[in-house]
Amino acid sequence: MSESYFDALERQLAGLCRERAHRRTWRFRVPGMGRSASSVRLHRSGIVAMVASAAVVAGVVVLALALHSAPRPPGRPAGGGAAGISQRQRRAAQPYVRAAIDPAVSASCASLASVRGRVSYGAPSRSLVAILGVLRRPREPSDLPPPAPGAHRSIPVWAQGAYVRYVRRARVVAGISYYVVPMVNAGVMNGTCAAQAQRRLDRELPTIPAGLRGVVRQLAEHQIANLGPHQGVILVETGPNISGGFGGTPASAIKQTGIFGSDQTRDGARVVGLLPDGVASVQIIYTAARGSDTPKPFSITAPVVNNVMVVSVPRTGEAALHGKMVWRAANGTVIRTISQH
Amino acid sequence: MAQSLDHAQWSDAELLLAVVVGDDAAFTAFYRRYLAVVTAFLLRETGDREATADLCAEVFAAVMLAAARYRDIGPAGPWVLGIARNKLRASRRRGRIEERARRRLGFEPLTLGDADLDEVEALARHGGGDLVGLVEELPVNERDAVRARVLGERSYAQLAIDLRCSEMVARKRVSRGLARIRARLEGR
């Protein structure tokens, strides 16, 4: 019996739903690095303004984590990971990578509860503390995460698996609090699931066309490392009508690209970023955009306070992240330029 | 399948968030939750089964694209029907069925058979009956608010004037009414 229209509609849209999430990554060029190593996959972190339930907050974190750029797997040479692979190879390899990894990122494996576990009273890695001054300042009562609304837990879901003594409220802007939250494990898969994904990949590899095998292995292992257990930071925003977070980014990636997200607002978007020490301001340069309220090129500069920048931009949520970013030190010298390509 | 059972228990906000992260099972659950209601609304507005089926595809494609912008202010019914209303208006304005969301997603066109057109009617009966019947069962305050907002397409500001209450109270009544309807629908 042939499939009905509404069943076919459901099937096709569900497939596109999955496809779309996998496509949602950007490539950024970091000047000053060699060509092969210059492409950093930076997730559209935080893409979304968030809804108020703690469970949903956890979901956003998953979104961010699933897409973020993580460090190279231990033992892999510089320039390894997913670098040096052409777009064409990437496209061809992607279905095989997904087939190997997706079952491991199933509901049970991607459950934050199984990944995160309890809070940690320990300290994050030195490399992380070294690049984020806000984590080095003494803890204050205002740094305590607000309790989850209506929940029996005393801390919200997003703080599960956090180094609670190192959670810092970095800023409060327009009634919204921005917390920097170092995580014991910012991955979305626990070690068991990561190992399961690796085993599945090893099993599938011989069935993959020989010409693609190397690329698939490289991409899949990179992705397993991204999704598997690793220490990282999330930036959480809570306030009236908003409660969300993004990131899951390790120290090395914060140093290179920071973490940026945007929330849709009534007048455009609010861009929020976490930046390493030394960055005093961020200028975002937007090119002309057809169909936008602000079709002409313009730029906006925001100060960085306690490693966090917050700025309102007259662009819609996603487009607000489509800009060239110039990081500047307090004396005005350019530290880094990040441009989309 | 355990996973889909779990998704059926999720709130609309949780499902839509999961849609953003590419959870196809969450999309399926959301689609099944609202397909009949959307179909009923569109068939009532257009009176055309083919146009309804076509618009349904566009509405759910738009739901996927807009999922990240959904704010958890209660059940997503008004939000979904708002999308349906906008698509309907755009289609009427242009004189052809809107398909922008589907184009953005790279959606492959589907074919409609006679059996599918019958299914449109069946779904609409189910969705319309469910919705209208359950709306009527609501406490008076909530019933009037939901009727005006969801079925009558009134804005919250207009609703507040109609019901002689503040906008906040109007929102609360709609939200409570829809939550009650959803709970009943899910309990069936």
B133-174 per-position pLDDT tens digit = 677 778 888 888 887 776 666 778 888 888 888 888 888 888
Cβ–Cβ gap A6/B111 under 8 Å: no
Average pLDDT over residues B176-185: 74
Helix (H, G, I), strand (E, B) or coil at B96: coil
What are the Cα distances from residue A218, in Å, to A9, A26, A215?
34, 19, 5
Distance CA A279, CA A137 (A): 17
**Closest approach of B137 to chain A, Cα-based (Å):** 29
pLDDT of residue A231: 86
Identify the CA nearest to A63 among candidates B28, B10, B14, B79.
B14
B13 contacts B42 by C-beta, under 8 angstroms: no
Task: Using a pLDDT cut of 70, give the percent of chain A over it.
Answer: 66
Q: Which of A74-83, A102-111, B82-91, B164-173 has the highest mean pLDDT?
A: B82-91
Q: Is A296 on the interface with B (CB under 8 A)?
A: no
pLDDT at B177 over 90: no
* Cβ contact A5–B20 (<8 Å): no
- Provide the pLDDT confidence category of residue A38 given band limits of 50, 70 and 90: very low
Instruction: State how far the Cα of A198 lies from the Cα of A103, in Å rounded to an integer.
Output: 11
* B23: nearest CA partner in chain A: A18
Residue A51 near chain B (CB below 8 Å):
yes
The better pLDDT of the pair B11, A272 is held by A272
Q: What is the pLDDT of residue B111?
A: 87
- Distance from CA of residue B129 to its chain's centroid? 14
Sign of CA dihedral A118, A119, A121, A126: positive
**pLDDT single digits (tens) A58-101:** 333 333 333 333 333 332 322 334 557 777 777 777 777 877 77
pLDDT of residue A284: 93
Q: Which residues between 108 and 167 in chain B have a beta carbon less than 8 angstroms from any beta carbon of chain A? A: 108, 110-113, 115-116, 119, 123
The span from the CA of A247 to the CA of A234, in Å, is: 4
Using the predicted structure, report yes or no on whether residue A157 has a pLDDT greater than 70: no
What span, in angstroms and rounded, lies between the C-alpha atoms of A165 and A121?
6
Across the interface, whether the CB atoms of B110 and A107 are under 8 A apart is answered no
In chain B, positions 64-103, which contact chain A (CB-CB < 8 Å)?
Answer: 64, 68-72
Nearest to A142 by CA among A186, A184, A180: A180
The Cα of B170 is separated from the nearest Cα of chain A by a number of Å equal to: 18
State the Cα–Cα distance between residues A115 and A192, nearest whole angstrom.
10
Q: What is the pLDDT of residue A225?
A: 78
**Are the C-beta atoms of residues B118 and B75 closer than 8 Å to each other?**
no
Q: What is the mean pLDDT of chain A?
A: 71
Put simply, the answer to whether B119 touches A5 (Cβ < 8 Å) is: yes
pLDDT of residue A15: 87
Task: Look up the ipTM and state it.
Answer: 0.76
Could you say which of B25, B61, B115 has the minimum Cβ distance to residue A4?
Answer: B115
Tell me which chain B residue has its CA closest to the CA of residue A60: B17
Q: What is the pTM of this model?
A: 0.48
How many residues appear in chain A? 341
Can you give the pLDDT at residue A300?
Answer: 92
Q: Which residue's structure tokens are 């690793």?
A: A230
Q: Which of A101, A124, A220, A120 is nearest to A164 (CA)?
A: A120
Residue B7 near residue B25 (C-beta atoms within 8 A): yes
Rounded (10°) angle between helices B24-46 and B2-9: 60
How far A1 CA sits from the closest chain B CA (Å)? Answer: 12
- Decide: B87 and B65 in contact? Cβ < 8 Å: no
Averaged pLDDT, B59-71:
86
Is A14 close to B113, i.e. CB distance below 8 A?
Answer: no
| Pairwise pLDDT comparison (A104 vs A299), residue with the higher score | A299
Q: For A290-299, B50-59, B81-90, which range has the lowest pLDDT when averaged over its residues?
A: A290-299
Q: Is the pLDDT of residue A191 over 60?
A: yes
| Structure confidence at residue A280 (pLDDT) | 96
| Test the B interface: residue of A2, A4, A13 with most B CBs within 10 Å | A13
Q: In the beta sheet, which residues pair with residue A339? A: A29
pLDDT of residue A147: 54
Residue reference for tokens 């599918």: B116
- Per-residue pLDDT, A29: 27
- pLDDT, position B130: 59
List phi, psi (to 5°) of A77. -70, 160
Q: Which residues pair with A181 in a beta bridge?
A: A234
The distance of A64 to chain B (nearest Cα, Å) reads 8
Q: Is some CB atom of chain B closer than 8 A to the CB atom of A203?
A: no
pLDDT in tens, B97-135: 888 888 888 888 888 888 898 899 888 887 766 566 677
Which of B7, B24, B32 is the best mutation test for A, with the most CBs of A within 10 A?
A: B24
- Among left, alpha and beta (phi > 0; psi -120 to 50; other), residue A247 is left
Is A20 close to B71, i.e. CB distance below 8 A? no
DSSP A110-141: T-HHHHH-S-B-S---HHHHHH-HHHHSPP-G
Report CA dihedral (A31, A33, A37, A39) to the nearest 10 degrees.
0
Contact list in B for residue A17 (CB cut-off 8 A) is 19, 22-24, 26-27, 64
DSSP string, A189-249: S-HHHHHHHHHHHHHHGGGS-HHHHHHHHHHHHHHHHHHSS--EEEEEEEETTEEEEEEEE
Neighbouring-strand partners of residue A29: A39, A339
CB contact under 8 A, B64 and A49: no
- How many CB atoms sit inside 10 A of residue B115's CB? 11
CB contact under 8 A, A6 and B64: no
Per-residue pLDDT tens digits for A39-49: 222 232 322 22
Q: Are A333 and A276 in contact (CB under 8 A)?
A: no
Q: Calculate the dihedral angle through the C-alpha atoms of A246, A61, A253, A48, rounding to the nearest 10 degrees.
A: -40
Q: Which band of pLDDT confidence, cut at 50, 70 and 90, is reported for residue A262? A: confident
What pLDDT was estimated at residue A236?
A: 85
pLDDT at A235: 87
pLDDT at B75 over 70: yes
What letter does residue A86 receive in the DSSP assignment?
A: -
- pLDDT at residue B6 in the model: 52
Percent of chain A surpassing pLDDT 90: 21
Determine the Cα–Cα distance for residues A261 and A44; give it in Å rounded to an integer: 6
* Better-predicted residue by pLDDT, A11 or A142: A11
Bridge partners, A259 (sequence order): A274
- The predicted model gives A145-157 an average pLDDT of 49
Give whichever of A33-42, B117-126, B175-184 has the largest mean pLDDT: B117-126
Supply the pLDDT for residue A62.
30
B20 shares contact with chain A (CB less than 8 Å): yes
Contact A56 B17 (CB under 8 A): yes
Per-residue pLDDT, averaged over B23-35, amounts to: 87
The pLDDT mean for chain B works out to 80
The predicted pLDDT at position B31 comes to 93
Please answer yes or no on whether A22 and B22 come within 8 Å at the CB atom.
yes
Q: Determine contact: A6 vs chain B, CB below 8 A.
A: yes
